[in-house]
Amino acid sequence: QVQLVESGGGLLQAGDSLTLTCANSGGVFELYDVAWHRQAPGMERVLVAEIPADGRRIYADSVKGRFIISRDNAKNTVTLQMNNLKPEDSGVYYCHAHRQGITRGWEYWGQGTQVTVSP
């Protein structure tokens, strides 16, 4: 089974940089589409960035040009490099993995890691 663990969150100041890591401890997951989502207090969970199995990189408009999502298949991880952080980037960041088969799909969520950015 895929098991996702996020790490790297913390308390930061506007303009700082931070890298989050999603580690799969349950086996190789390069066949999965992987994404980072953010949920702020009182807000819905939103997609921040995704890296499908085909290697594309897709970003929300609010983070485009500042964040980079990438895979390290040797380490079985997906990272989110966050640069020039803004207070509106604050929230709990969740890793999500999904794979679609012919008749069914598989999906997994991590427990989340907190990112707080002060002005």
Question: Residue 29's pLDDT is what?
Answer: 79
87: region left, alpha or beta (phi > 0 left; psi from -120 to 50 alpha): alpha
Instruction: Return the SS3 of 107.
Output: strand
Taking only the tens place, the pLDDT of each residue in 37-93 is: 999 999 999 999 999 999 899 999 999 999 999 999 999 999 999 999 999 999 999
Question: Residue 103's pLDDT is what?
Answer: 92
- Residue 33 and residue 99 in contact, taking contact as beta carbons nearer than 8 Å: yes
State which amino acid sits at residue 79.
T
Please tell me the distance from the alpha carbon of residue 39 to that of residue 6, in angstroms, as a whole number.
14
Confidence of residue 28 (pLDDT cuts 50, 70, 90): confident
CA distances from 3 to 23, 55, 63, 97, 110 (A): 8, 21, 27, 10, 7
